[in-house]
Amino acid sequence: MAAGAQTGSEYIKHHLTNLTFGRDSEGVWKIAETAQEAQEMGFYAIHIDSMGWSITLGFIFIFLFSMVARKASTGVPSGLQNGIEMIIEFIDSNVKDTFSHTNKLIAPMALTAFVWVLLMNLMDLVPVDWIPKLFDLGGVHYMKIVPTTDPNVTMGMSLSVFFLALFFSIKNKGIGGFVGELTLHPFSSKNLLIKIILIPINLFLEGVSLLARPISHGLRLFGNLYAGEMIFILIALLPLYAQWTLSVPWAIFHILVIVLQAFIFMVLMVVYMNMAHDAGDH
């Protein structure tokens, strides 16, 4: 049994606990030694593993793409160059189909979002015990290696997209246009009194819709990857023969989820940016 001396519930709880740095109940800043202590550190605690792996994977993305860019040739491309060119063409095609305005920032953003999220998702295919046990030998008892199973990471990315969309929305529509979009739609009237009465209703409906975007954007990615990670952990609790019987088919199926969720995150980001650039008639 992969859990060793631990019970099943202890094993699951251990694998779902982040390496957390924060202030304990006595006001001392430290790395949490137990799952309960990590939980008690509250909002200002930092998940070192999520931050570390996401930054590391970001640098891997930058290194691979910059290396290929420097060595790119017009001749027969290498396997890595060919693969990266396919990804770039795929993202560029989707941006052109989804984004109907002109902004040179959107395509690089979409490429970064897709590849970075894909790399973070791919960590879910690493057997659940390998890296945590390696760190445990060095005295680090908690280590989650899939950043997208941490809602702090996925919500951080979705909120970044949200605030960027707000910036472009105000920039392209103006303060008046942005406020008008929230207060004069979806219900409107030529009668001034009725229009004033409808403003709070429109503000509520449009406000809920606006705030729901980053929440659904981040939690959709988190929920799917968290569920996949949980299934891998549950499989790891089974006898060895059952682990191989179930983990391989699930890993093959999970590859589809990993790629699809990275694609969905990227597409929604482009859609929100396109909406932010739709000035229309406000």
Residue positions annotated with a catalytic role: 216, 220, 224
CA distance readout (Å), 189 to 8, 21, 39, 173, 192: 61, 54, 51, 21, 7
Residue 203: other Cβ atoms inside 10 A: 15
- Asked if 38 contacts 45 with a C-beta cutoff of 8 angstroms, the reply is yes
| Cα–Cα distance for residue pair 47/196, rounded to 1 Å | 47
- Asked if 81 contacts 90 with a C-beta cutoff of 8 angstroms, the reply is no
Helices 79-98 + 106-122 axis angle, to 10: 120
- Asked if 255 contacts 262 with a C-beta cutoff of 8 angstroms, the reply is no
